[in-house]
Structure 1
Amino acid sequence: MPIPAIRQPVIDSGLPASQNPSTQPVPSKPRLRLWRPESSPETNSSLLENSELDDRHGIGLRRPWMTWSYLIASLIAGITITTLAGCHWASASQNSQGAAMYNQGQYTGAMEQFQKAIASNPKDPDGYYNLAATTHRLGNQRQDPNLIRQSEALYNQCLDHDPNHVDCHRGLAVLLVDSGRPDRAFTLLKNWAAQNPTLAEPRIELARLYEEHGEPQTALKYLEDAVQTDANNPRAWLALARLRESSGDPVQALQNYQRVLALGGGVGGSSALATERVAALSRQINSANDARLNSGGTQIASPAFGSTRY
């Protein structure tokens, strides 16, 4: 079971994650709709005429404590929103830079960027996951048990912030298996599935783990359960198609791949893979049908020359 890929950040502003957030405009503070005294029928017009305050200062004339409280609260909310947006953009940029360095094999530099991302947004689970996966990779390369322990702690921090983080569950399960604790890996994923009976993802990951441990029938059971739990999950159908193909069931596998395409193909290269397998399995099934017809003993009648019919 390989360590899943580094997570690319998603920026709430709708901008691509690869775009530099520093060049984007900072969200403006919310406009305030202030109460004006002339809008209320209860206001005494003589009071307005005799007041030393002109119209620009009329916001607090009727109930100044309410108006100024609303003004101050709105300003604080605007500052908070702007600050949080800035933190999110900084974290997303640092995660993007770290992911690029990770893909180039610059793991130490990637770790530094992911540490900065966590510092910018301590509640972002992807920052913890990215740092955990990079530390895990370095720990495996260097055979360093301290790095492995650090990555395990980071995976758990990621799950503290997002209990349904799919890549993090998979990465932690891989670590537990690699460190000689497969029983803990199965327990991790089974507990996840039990806590989320309507979620297909835990069952997909359990099926992957069982298949890698030489139990394809148990894996098949979990994948069938996954597509029943969420019939519109292309990952579940793709995993089921691949398992059925490897188990020698091309007809069912073809139908499952076709289901993946009907659902839009999923993410990453799933659509291309499903398209390629549909074409390959269709050729395989058609060739098998042709061979069966040719070897089935069917005889073609020879023309009877000299027939009196014509």
Structure 2
Amino acid sequence: MPSPALRQTAIVPPATTDLVPESPRLRLVGSDGDLDITSDLHVSPASDYPHSIGARRPWMTWACLISSMIVGIILTTLTGCHWASGSQNTQGAAMYNQGQYTGAMEQFRKAIASNPADPDGYYNLAATTHRLGNQRQDPNLIRQSESLYNQTLDHDPNHVDAHRGLAVLLVDSGRPDRAFALMKNWAAQNPTLAEPRIELARLYEEHGEPQVALKYLEDAVQTDANNPRAWLALARLREQSGDPVQALQNYQQALQVGGGALGPNSAMATERIAALSRQINSARDAQLNSGGTQMATPAFGSTRY
């Protein structure tokens, strides 16, 4: 089974001065109203302003200014880390696509160093190490990739691609029971999430149990009726099982809820809708032309319910 595709973290432009909002003009409140600290300010003794916090404690103004500066520095630093990590992930993905796996791994290590909290860096390194381990038949690399997949899930417990990649690795290394346990535990911990059920369905289908896969996909669309991946997977499985009417409806639902989110699969779904429509219309025309006063029920099922 192929390793899943790499994920690229979105690149954020380098931090500039306009990313940190201009500090507002702080105002000290006196008994006679607001006092602009940008103008000449004479602070009277505290006893003269029993209710004026700013005037009684001028050090608080400096504390606010210092706090604002610290927050600005932190935000700028975090933005810079995110940009560096995103750039390194993108460079690594480009090298991966060119077959330069060693160079890609180096870029992904840099991405992790730039932003240790970004799960995509760990996932990209895991997937590349997995690919290289399979290519070289190197058990050490396979063990490293397993550890990296788990680190990805430590940072993002619902990382779909990491679950998929780890399941593939477990099956390939002779531990399919662990792969099923991984997916079932994920589904049990996320009863409102469709993705674990989609991945469980894929796993069952790959192991020759399409009916169990169908059940999980039906659960997935009931769990999240707006998940285009679930509808698309259900449509494909129903088409393969010889149910073109339901498959057609599911492809249409996938396009309706998915729109542009389907990406390249949008064109595929559109093509399948056209092909299934022709198939269904041809079957109906053939039945009408076969004679008789009553049109027979289509062999592929009814659309009444």
Q: TM-score, normalised by structure 1?
A: 0.85
Query: Partners in 1 of 2:17 and 2:95 — Cα distance?
Result: 27
Partner residue of 1:267? Answer: 262
Gaps of 5+ in 1: 14-20, 299-310
User: Which residue identity lines up with residue 103 of structure 2 in the other structure?
Assistant: G
1:74-223 aligned within 5 A: 74-223=68-217
Partner residue of 2:47? Answer: none
Partner residue of 1:4? Answer: 4
Query: Partners in 1 of 2:18 and 2:127 — Cα distance?
Result: 33
8 Å CA contact retained: 1:128, 1:155: yes
Comparing 97-106 with 118-127, which one deviates more in the overlay?
97-106
8 Å CA contact retained: 1:159, 1:165: yes
1:38-53 aligned within 5 A: 40-42=30-32
8 Å CA contact retained: 2:226, 2:258: no
Note the alpha carbon deviations across 1:154-189, whole angstroms, 9 max, x for none: 000000000000001000000000000000000000
Gaps of 5+ in 2: 44-53, 294-305
SS of the residue aligned with 1:55? coil
User: Which residue identity lines up with residue 24 of structure 2 in the other structure?
Assistant: R
User: Once superposed, what is the RMSD of the aligned Cα atoms?
Assistant: 2.3
Percent identical pairs in the alignment equals: 77
User: Which residue identity lines up with residue 290 of structure 1 in the other structure?
Assistant: D
Query: Partners in 2 of 1:79 and 1:57 — Cα distance?
Result: 29
Partner residue of 2:39? Answer: 55
Comparing 207-216 with 258-267, which one deviates more in the overlay?
258-267
Instruction: Give the C-alpha shift of residue 213 in structure 1.
Output: 0.3
Query: Partners in 1 of 2:27 and 2:132 — Cα distance?
Result: 64
SS of the residue aligned with 2:99? coil
Comparing 76-85 with 1-10, which one deviates more in the overlay?
1-10
Query: Partners in 1 of 2:131 and 2:85 — Cα distance?
Result: 22
8 Å CA contact retained: 1:34, 1:67: no
Query: Partners in 2 of 1:246 and 1:43 — Cα distance?
Result: 76
Instruction: Give the C-alpha shift of residue 54 in structure 1.
Output: 8.6
The aligned length equals 282
User: Which residue identity lines up with residue 277 of structure 2 in the other structure?
Assistant: S
Q: TM-score, normalised by structure 2?
A: 0.86
User: Which residue identity lines up with residue 286 of structure 1 in the other structure?
Assistant: N
SS of the residue aligned with 2:262? coil
Larger gyration radius, structure 1 or structure 2:
1
Query: Partners in 1 of 2:34 and 2:201 — Cα distance?
Result: 75
Instruction: Give the C-alpha shift of residue 283 in structure 1.
Output: 1.0
